[in-house]
Structure formats: C-alpha cells, structure tokens
Structure 1
Amino acid sequence: MHPDDLSAAAEVHRLAFVRQKQSEQWLASTLAAFPRFLCFVAEEAGQVLGFILWAQKSGFRDQAVLELDQLAVLPAAQGRGIGRRLIVQSLPLVREQLVRQGSSLKHVIVNTRADNHAQKLYRDTLGAQVEATIRDLYSADEVFMVARQVDEGARGR
C-alpha cells in the first residue's frame, strides 16, 4: 500500500467495517507505522479491491509474532479469492521484511468475530486454530486464532 492508495483503501475499509469510523485516518496512521505495520493492496485494472494489514507484535524480535490485523475486500468483489490471494501473496513479502530486520516468523495471530466465516479462510491459508473466545469484546464475541509454525508459504488452497 502506498499513500496514493489511501482513498480507495479507505472506501474498502468503510464498506467492510461498518462499525468503525475515520477509515482514511485509520489506514494513514497504520501505513505510517512501517515497519511495525506492513500494508498491501489488491488491485485490478487500477482499482483497489482489498487490503491486508500485518502487525509485528510485542516489539521487534528474533522470532516475530505477526498479527493479521485487518483483511478487507470490496463487497462487490467478494467470493473471488481476493482475500486468500492477499494472504498468500503478501506473506512472502512480509517474510522478506522480517529477514531484512534480522527476524524470522514464529507465529501468526488473528482475531475475528466468532460468527465470521473468515475463520475458515484463516484455517485454510495459515493453519490457524481457535485458541480462545472473549465474550462481547468489540461488537460481539471474538475468537483469537493462532497459526503456529506457519509453513514457508501460506496455503493457496
């Protein structure tokens, strides 16, 4: 993601996360936090269709724990595998950044609403499993998933 992508990515954010506010400010501050946050977009014919935000957790470490912070796809583009491709294609780039800073990937964490069908995507692509459920955290119950010893490449299934 580049600053030129912010307006279009903010529209994806606004449509995907209807309870969240100030989409452009949220994404601009996240993008400005490189390398703690690593941000990518999916584009087709010059249009931003989705984005993924990865966060390094608990400081820069020899073995990094990443959080898949947010993943969003335009509602009109959902069901085409864009979310899967965002994970699968961005994770090697994230690994390259980790190597540049002298780190390797230990685990990936992700949290989402307990009723979000994206849990299957996180299981299939990352091998993430539900570790805990926290009642009424944001807008509903939230599950915390962990992908331990993530394969060299995310699963493209």
Structure 2
Amino acid sequence: MRHADLEQAACVHRLAFARQQHSLEWLTATLAAHPRFLCYVAQVQGALAGYILWAQKSGFRAQAVLELDQIAVLPDRHGQGTGRALIDQSLPLVKAELAHQGAALKHIIVNTRADNYAQQLYRSALGAEVVATIADLYSADEVFMVARNTPL
C-alpha cells in the first residue's frame, strides 16, 4: 500500500467495516507505522479491490509473531478469491521483510467475529485454529485464532 492508495482503501474500509469510523485516518496511521505494520493492496483491472494489514506483535523479535490485523475486500469481490490472494501473495513479502530485519515468522494470530465466515479462509489459507472466544468484545463475540509454526 502506498499513500496514493489511501483514498480507495478508505472506501473499501468504509464498506467492509460499517461500525468503524474515520477510515482514512485509520489507514493513514497504520501505513505510517511501517515496519511494525506491513500493508498491501489487491488490484483488479487497475482498481483497488481490497487490502491486508499485517502487524508485528510484542516488539521486533528474531521469532516474529504476526497478527493479520485487518483484511478487507470490496463487497462485489466477495467469494472471488481476492481475500485468499491477498493472504497468499502478501505473506511471502512479509516473510522477506522479516528476513531483512533478521527475523523469521513463528506464528500468526487473527481475531474476528465468531459469526464471520472469514474463519474458513483463515483455516484454509493459514492453518489457523480457534483458541479462545471472548463474549461481546466489539460488536459481538470475538474468536481468536492462531496459526502455529507457520512454514517458511
């Protein structure tokens, strides 16, 4: 993701996360937090179709724990593989960035609403499994998933 992508990414954010506010400010702050946050976009026919935000957790470590902080795809792109492509294509770039920092990927964590169908994506793309549920955390129950010992 580049600064030039922020307006389009903010539109995706607004459509994907109706309860959240200040989309442009949220994404601008996240992009500015590089290298703690690693941000990528998906484009289809030259237009931004989605984005993914990865966060390094608990400091810069030799064995990095990443969080799939946020993934969003335009509603009309749902079910077309854009989310999966964002994960599959950005993860090697994230691993290369970690290697440049002298680190390797250890685990990936992700949390989402308990009723979010994206859990299936996180299971299939990352091998993530639910390890905890917190009742009524944001707008509903939230599940926390972990993909352990992710292959390099």
TM range (shorter): over 0.9
Root mean square deviation, CA, Å: 0.5
In structure 2, the residue matched to 1:59 is: 59
In structure 2, the residue matched to 1:9 is: 9
TM-score normalised by structure 2 residue count: 0.99
In structure 1, the residue matched to 2:106 is: 106
How big is the shift at 1:151?
2.4
TM-score normalised by structure 1 residue count: 0.96
In structure 2, the residue matched to 1:89 is: 89
| Per-residue Cα deviation, 1:81-124 (whole angstroms, up to 9, x for no partner) | 00000000000000000000000000000000000000000000
| Per-residue Cα deviation, 1:127-150 (whole angstroms, up to 9, x for no partner) | 000000000000000000000011
In structure 2, the residue matched to 1:120 is: 120
**Runs (4+) of structure 1 moved beyond 4 Å?**
none
In structure 2, the residue matched to 1:155 is: none
Distance 1:88 1:151 in 2: 13
Letter in 1 for 2:32: A
In structure 2, the residue matched to 1:41 is: 41
In structure 1, the residue matched to 2:77 is: 77
Task: Name structure 1 gaps, 5 residues minimum.
Answer: 153-157
Number of residue-to-residue matches in the alignment: 152
How big is the shift at 1:62?
0.4
Task: Name structure 2 gaps, 5 residues minimum.
Answer: none
SS at the partner of 2:67? strand
In structure 2, the residue matched to 1:131 is: 131
| Per-residue Cα deviation, 1:33-79 (whole angstroms, up to 9, x for no partner) | 00000000000121100000000000000000000000000001111
